[in-house]
Chains A and B, each alone.
Chain A
Amino acid sequence: MSVFRRMIPRSVSGQIAAIILLSVVLVVALGRVGGIVRHSQFLGVYAFESFFEQIAAIGPLMGKLSAAQQDDLASLMAASDLDLAIVDPAEAERLAKDANAPNWIIQAVEMLFPPDDELPAGSRLFSLPAATLILVPLDETSVLAAYGPARPLVSNDVLGPLSYYVLAFATLLVLFGRYSRWAFLGPLARISDEVKRSNGTEEGRLASGQGAPEVLALTEALNQMRTRVRGLLDTRARMLRGVSHDLRTPLTRLRQRIERLDDDQEQRKMLADVEQIDRLIDETLDYLRADAAGEEAERVDVASLLQTIQADFADLGSDIRYDGPDHLAAMIRPSAMLRAITNLCGNGLKFGSRVIIVLSRVEGMLRIDVVDDGPGIPRELRDRVMEPFFKAVPTRTDRDRKDGFGLGLSIVSEIVAAHRGRLTLLENRPCGLIARVELPE
């Protein structure tokens, strides 16, 4: 096996050449076998063909002879195993009627693979159950009726050159089919499957497996690209993390200093600013975390998760309600999902006065609706608000303090996408927004 394997060429062009060579050798060998079969008694091909040839030669000759000479020739030929008779046309018609019309298979075979020689004009050939009858009109009063061996299903032509071509074609087709599946289609399908399944950034590599070297090279190239993308994302995450971290140290100092101030009013304002900066840093870090999706999914009671979010907001004095079952388990990443729904509720309470979290099961999907009574988001902006750093509401001074970078909904959308779910924004009646998270169960 290993010797055989070593003989397989490495490059695709070499492998294709090898397949063509293999087909040629196969066809030549099979052609040779066909020739041997044709000239043997096997299948009765030879006997039928020689009978046919003889009639083709005798027929025209007989037409030129007198009736007596025809009889002589017929009895003469009987010695060489040819069963010939001279009959009148009426008798010939009777014989023709007795020989049943050939079935369609025979007809098809006769049409596709006619015997090699041409019979004299007006001749008719009938396949009888165990023999062949050929009627050759000689003149107005006599017809030559010749009985010979049964027509074999395979004629000379079947074993002849046409079949070679068909065979060669089929061999090439089959070999190429199998080869392309092994070398290209299989590995390519596997690669595209894996690429589709991954988010392109996770650790690990695409399995190379078997396949043409060019395909293996493609796998390797994709792996390298993935490593580069991973590297870029890592650098970005490290940078943002570093910036956030380095901002927090002076921010801590600032906050401590502010706490020592005597002026209460100034102190409150300054603390609010510090808190806003801190929230912005939090938002950035959250966005990075949603991106990385490092948390493992586990079986979580989603109902209790939503109730917890509701309780935490309610304890801060917000008007928020939970509407749904007491328990409903699903495979999710609990911290990420907590962050996503908390973001949606925070948004709802920022723009509206009250929020309802609704949990339900719809068509095999888990559905979490965060419903608010705020101004909603205009239809044309609903897709754009999920883009990072996009804000639907132009920043106003009074809203300034509550506003973040505009990463909130992008974080949610990233987290939901990591769960293979869907985030849609819908209109609430009479006013408000429904942020709908749908997760596969």
Chain B
Amino acid sequence: MPSDLNHSSTTPRILIVEDDAEIGAMLRDALSKNGMHAEVATSGREMDDRLLAGAFDLVILDVMLPGEDGLSLCRRLRSETSVPIIMLTALGEEVDRILGIEIGADDYITKPFSTREVLARIRGLLRRAYFSKAGAERMRPLRFEGWRIDPLRRQLHDPENTRISMTTAEFDLLLAFCRNPGKILTREELLTLTHAGLAGPVERSVDVHVSRVRQKIEADPREPVLLKTVRLGGYMFTANVDAG
């Protein structure tokens, strides 16, 4: 297994675009220590040069940059490639815009961040990208039984168009079900599909999150119709899911 990890094709190549030289360097070191190849660009121009010189699996982009800012770079990058983008922001309030259609980043991290958090986000995003290359297609809203789930805005609306609030883990879980309707999903598969989402400081079992999702989408959570438990197997989402 260690030989696998060291193999050049499995070493993720990360491009960090950050104007603060020290933050860039420390981030690069932290990623290198964790088996990734990382390079730092301090401006949009430098980012373009690096991207021309070699392919990257993921770009970490600071919002505040001299010259062309991170949001504009992200928009431009998105129109050209499907490379996963994580934005670094010092202001939490930009998040909706960052993840929205307009900017189109895949994820964000707020400063000051911990190395652990950055690694978790990078791994989660790389895994997602590995499972499905068509990122934009994946972020399309889905419908089931009149409900609407929007992966991009991370919003769920019921048939009366009332917004239903969910925790991150609940949302990731429901999204995983919606993307795999009619399939039996084991607890292990669900953990993989929802990547880091289910791992909080207190690890709840998948079952707890499933029962919370039922609480929100089932007419009678004790008699689930949409989200069925399969004996010895796991769970199955019974609704018809359409794009839209």
Q: Which residues of A contact B (CB under 8 A)?
A: 241, 244-245, 248-249, 251-257, 259-260, 274, 278, 282, 285, 289, 298-301, 304-305, 307-308, 311-312, 315-317, 326, 329, 334, 338
Closest to A246 in B: B90
Q: Could you show 22 A-B contacts with beta carbons less than 8 Å apart?
A: A248-B111, A251-B111, A252-B111, A253-B20, A255-B113, A256-B22, A256-B26, A260-B26, A278-B112, A282-B92, A285-B91, A285-B93, A299-B161, A299-B163, A301-B165, A304-B164, A304-B165, A307-B212, A307-B216, A312-B167, A315-B201, A315-B204
A256-B115, A329-B160 known; A316 vs B216 contact (CB < 8 Å) = no
Q: Is the CB of B162 within 8 A of A317?
A: no
Contact with A along B95-119 (1 / 0, CB 8 A): 0000000000000000111110000
Q: How many angstroms between the C-alpha atoms of A274 and B161 in the bound complex? A: 41
Q: Is B36 at the interface (CB under 8 A from chain A)?
A: no
Across-interface contacts of A248 in B (CB, < 8 A): 90, 111-112
Would B112 and A255 count as touching, CB distance under 8 A? yes
Chain B residues contacting A315 (CB-CB under 8 Å) are 167, 169, 200-202, 204
- B10-41: CB near A (< 8 Å → 1, else 0) gives 00000000001011001100100000000000
- A257 CA to B114 CA, complexed, in Å: 11
Which of B26, B112, B113, B215 has the most CB atoms of chain A within a 10 A radius of its CB? B112
Contacts of A257 in B (CB 8 A): 26
Question: A304's contact among B22, B91, B216, by CB below 8 Å, is which?
Answer: B216
Residue of A nearest to B212 (CB): A311
Count of residues in B whose CB is under 8 Å from the partner chain = 35
Q: Is the CB of A244 within 8 A of B90?
A: yes
Determine which of A252, A253, A255, A289 lies in contact with B93 in the assembled complex, contact meaning CB atoms within 8 Å: A289
> A85 vs B90: C-alpha distance in the bound complex, in angstroms?
115
Q: B64 in the interface, Cβ–Cβ < 8 Å?
A: yes
Known: A255-B113, A299-B162. A316 touches B92 (CB 8 A): no
* Chain B residue at smallest Cβ distance from A249: B20
Check if B112 sits within 8 Å of A311, measured CB to CB. Answer: no
Instruction: Indicate if the CB atoms of A300 and B112 lie closer than 8 Å.
Output: no
**Closest Cβ of chain B: how far from A139's Cβ, in Å?**
102
Using CB atoms, name the residue of chain A closest to B169.
A315
User: Which residues of the partner chain A approach B57 to less than 8 Å between Cβ atoms?
Assistant: none
- B174-212 residues with Cβ-Cβ distance < 8 A to A are 200-202, 204, 212
Q: Which B residues touch A301, using CB under 8 A? A: 158, 162-165, 216
Chain A residues near B27 (CB, 8 Å)?
Answer: 256
Determine the chain A residues whose CB is within 8 A of the CB of B112 once the complex forms: 248, 251-252, 254-256, 274, 278
Contact A245–B163 (Cβ < 8 Å): no
Whether B166 is near chain A, meaning CB under 8 Å from some CB there, is yes
Give, as a whole number of angstroms, the nearest-CB distance from A242 to chain B.
Answer: 10
Give chain A nearest CB distance to B40 CB in angstroms: 13
CB atoms of A311 and B114 under 8 A apart: no
The answer to whether B201 and A326 touch across the interface, beta carbons within 8 angstroms, is: no
A244 touches B91 (CB 8 A): yes
Partner of B201, one of A253, A304, A317: A317
Question: Is B172 an interface residue when CB atoms closer than 8 A count as contact?
Answer: no
Complex Cα distance A329/B30, Å? 46
CA gap between A249 and B165 in the complex, in Å = 32
Report the bound CA distance from A334 to B204 in whole Å.
26
Which single member of B64, B166, B221 contacts A308 (CB below 8 Å)? B166
Contact, CB under 8 Å: A241 / B91: yes
Q: How many angstroms between the C-alpha atoms of A301 and B159 in the bound complex?
A: 12
A278 to chain B, nearest CB (A): 6
Residues of B near A253 (CB, < 8 A) are: 20, 22-23, 26
Complex Cα–Cα for A339 and B216 (A) = 20
**Measured CA separation A274–B111 after assembly (Å):** 11
List chain A residues, Cβ under 8 A from B200.
315-316
Distance between Cα atoms of A225 and B157 in the complex (Å): 41
Known: A299-B161, A305-B165. A316 touches B201 (CB 8 A): yes
CB neighbours (8 Å) of A329 from chain B are 160, 162
Return A201 CB to nearest CB of chain B, in Å: 17
Alpha-carbon separation in the docked complex, A289 to B161 (Å): 26
